[in-house]
């Protein structure tokens, strides 16, 4: 078990180009504590496949539970005993973001990890997510009706973030802790039915394993790996298409409606989402994205459709622009007959939120 975990970490570091300074993010739970123990093996050796490596540790205290500071301090002490150096505790404030407490805690944690990596000069941040976490992520994506990107789950590599244990089961990390004589902390929120992820872990996955047979988690994780390849291809193609179409304008950007309409649906929706992000918006949900795409089937100026992040998207008819230019000086704009045009622009603008 330990040998398998070492090999997975070794492969992850090799795929990242053998970073010389590595930071282990550890909550004190069995997954991340097992990862810290495996990383400490390479820290003691001082190299991975002949490439020098040092391993630091960081514990993020979210301050969301009573006694969190004590848990963080105890975890930091275990990391120091394992030989990680330096080891720091980072305390964060979890602010409401509108996307739920789990997402807010994750955002605060990742920000703290990135800052710690910068300050400690670390090239990679190791996270302890397992195959079980990946399977739960895919199930949650299915339940929410998410698209390919969400169903592709967590990536083994995303920037400096590495997840070397996505091929390990949670039970295996518990076994590693037992072998290494470590006493992990068990987060009570992991079994709290108030959280969808906890219900998936405690209630849904065991039923699926019982009714469908063993191997469900592995199948879900394999699905994520396959979809990651598809998502990467579509993402690259959508980026190239978007850059070939986008045009700047005062206060925003626009896309030629005819060209967007002719795109395959898989690209069309991604291009619209990229345009929204380009002007400062957030990833639109299924309903909002379809509402924006429906503007392509309108005639005359239409909209706006409001997207997350204070983005407005609307159709601007080319005939409207032409007729506005044709209005004689001093004449009322509505005195000139207007005709709907099948041609137009899909315009994206970021609207500053109103001050209450």
Question: Rounded to 5 degrees, what angle do the CA atoms 156, 148, 150 make?
Answer: 55
30 has binding-site annotation? yes
28 has binding-site annotation? yes
239 has binding-site annotation? no
Sign of CA dihedral 45, 48, 51, 53: negative
Q: Is residue 283 a contact partner of residue 312, using CB atoms and an 8 Å limit?
A: no
d(CA 60, CA 23): 12
Helix 2-15 and helix 30-45: axis angle, to 10°? 70
d(CA 93, CA 60): 10
Burial level of 237, CB count in 10 A (0-12/13-18/19+)?
Answer: middle
147 has binding-site annotation? no
Q: Is residue 221 a contact partner of residue 131, using CB atoms and an 8 Å limit?
A: yes
DSSP, collapsed to helix, strand or coil, labels residue 306 as strand
354 has binding-site annotation? no
d(CA 154, CA 259): 33
Phi, psi of 59 (to 5 degrees): -120, 125
**Residue in the block written with tokens 């994750």:** 106
Q: Is residue 314 a contact partner of residue 306, using CB atoms and an 8 Å limit?
A: no
27 has binding-site annotation? yes
Sign of CA dihedral 165, 167, 169, 175: negative
Provide the token pair at 161: 């973030």
At a CB cut-off of 8 Å and minimum separation 6, what does 116 contact?
23, 58, 88, 90, 122
Helices (H) and strands (E) in the chain, counts: 14, 13
Provide the token pair at 253: 């950007």
Binding site for ATP: what residues are annotated?
27-32
Binding site: what residues are annotated?
27-32
């Amino acid at each position: 078990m330990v040998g398998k975990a070492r090999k997975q970490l070794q492969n992850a570091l090799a795929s990242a180009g053998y970073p010389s300074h590595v930071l282990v993010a550890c909550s004190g739970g069995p997954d991340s504590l097992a990862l810290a123990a495996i990383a400490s093996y390479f820290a003691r050796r001082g190299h991975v496949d002949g490439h020098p490596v040092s391993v630091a540790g960081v514990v993020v205290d979210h301050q969301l539970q009573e006694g969190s500071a004590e848990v963080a301090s105890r975890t930091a002490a275990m990391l120091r005993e394992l030989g990680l150096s330096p080891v720091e505790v980072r305390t964060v404030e979890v602010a409401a973001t509108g996307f739920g407490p789990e997402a807010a805690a994750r955002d605060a944690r990742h920000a703290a990890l990135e800052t710690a990596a910068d300050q400690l000069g670390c090239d990679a941040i190791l996270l302890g997510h397992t195959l079980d976490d990946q399977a739960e992520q895919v199930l949650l994506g299915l339940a929410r009706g998410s698209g390919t990107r969400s169903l592709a789950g967590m990536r083994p590599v995303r920037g400096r973030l590495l997840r070397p244990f996505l091929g390990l089961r949670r039970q295996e990390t518990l076994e590693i802790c037992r072998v290494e004589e470590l006493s992990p902390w068990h987060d009570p929120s992991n079994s709290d039915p108030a959280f969808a992820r906890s219900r998936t872990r405690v209630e849904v996955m065991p039923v699926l394993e019982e009714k469908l047979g063993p191997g469900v988690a592995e199948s879900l994780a394999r699905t994520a790996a396959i979809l990651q390849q598809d998502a990467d291809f579509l993402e690259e193609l959508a980026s190239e298409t978007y850059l070939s179409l986008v045009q700047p304008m005062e206060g925003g950007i626009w896309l030629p409606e005819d060209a967007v309409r002719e795109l395959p649906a898989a690209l069309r929706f991604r291009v619209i989402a990229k345009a929204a992000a380009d002007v400062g918006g957030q990833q639109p949900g299924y309903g909002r994205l379809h509402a924006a795409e429906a503007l392509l089937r309108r005639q005359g100026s239409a909209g706006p459709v409001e997207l997350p992040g204070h983005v407005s998207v609307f159709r601007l008819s080319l005939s409207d622009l032409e007729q506005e230019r044709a209005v004689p000086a001093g004449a009322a704009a509505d005195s000139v007959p207007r005709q709907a045009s099948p041609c137009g622009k899909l315009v994206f603008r970021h609207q500053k939120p109103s001050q209450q």
